Structure 1
Amino acid sequence: MVEFATLGDKKYSLQTIKLVTGDISAGTDIHNIPEEQLLLCEAIDDPYLLPFLLEKFYMMVIKDAEQFRLCLIRIQVDSDMRLNEDIQKHQHRRYVSRTIEKLMYRDIFLEIEREEDVGIEA
């Protein structure tokens, strides 16, 4: 059963809130969660919203840029670990987090390079 927290007219999955905030004990009181993290929750819960949220992310002033990047990395790690549960869902979540990271930070922190990409010879 998926539980939700409501703020205004928007519903947020508690599982997503816990993942984004890194707080496994996060509850339904989400008033203190930064706006950028709530926006990220929206994009993660419904990846098809991403094209409509890109400008908001691009123009947003992030209060704690390193903390926000950790949110994005947590999503990528969680998605990689849960890929076998629901491939499409977790590929979408990972794509959303990587796209936002690339948009806001100009690179991907957890970029996996193949051996031929870094010039290692066998």
Structure 2
Amino acid sequence: MTRSEFDMLCAVQPGAILSGPGELDAWKIGGKMFTCFGHTDTRATNDDHTVVRCADTEMARMLIETGAAGKPAYFRGAWVRLDLASLNVTEAAHRIAVSYTTIRAGLTKKAQAALPACEET
């Protein structure tokens, strides 16, 4: 998967905004990041990987332990690193949706009300 393909999957999330360039290129909802590409990680270039939020730390741990995701350099808890080269569209769309939904649910009620409605799945 390319960075451009990943960005297209992020862009379809209601109210998602791409911020950057800067230290981080991040997709945000209500001002809160749900995925990012870091410019300062010396292990890989900006377009090689992304970091997304899982629903909980147990899921993040399981993904890391099974090799489906990596441990991100500067994030803790329920965040995981995804290598774009080994990511397929279905898995990417799922990881983006989980990250987006988790971050959106953590916004204040006022911030949530100001966002476009989400489609029910």
Greater gyration radius: 1
Verify same fold: TM over 0.5.
no
> Would you tell me which structure has more helix in proportion to its own residues?
1
The structure, 1 or 2, with the larger RCO (C-alpha pairs under 8 Å, 6+ apart) is 2
TM-score, with structure 1 as normaliser: 0.31
- Between structures 1 and 2, the one with greater strand share: 2
Scaled by the length of structure 2, the TM-score of the pair is: 0.31
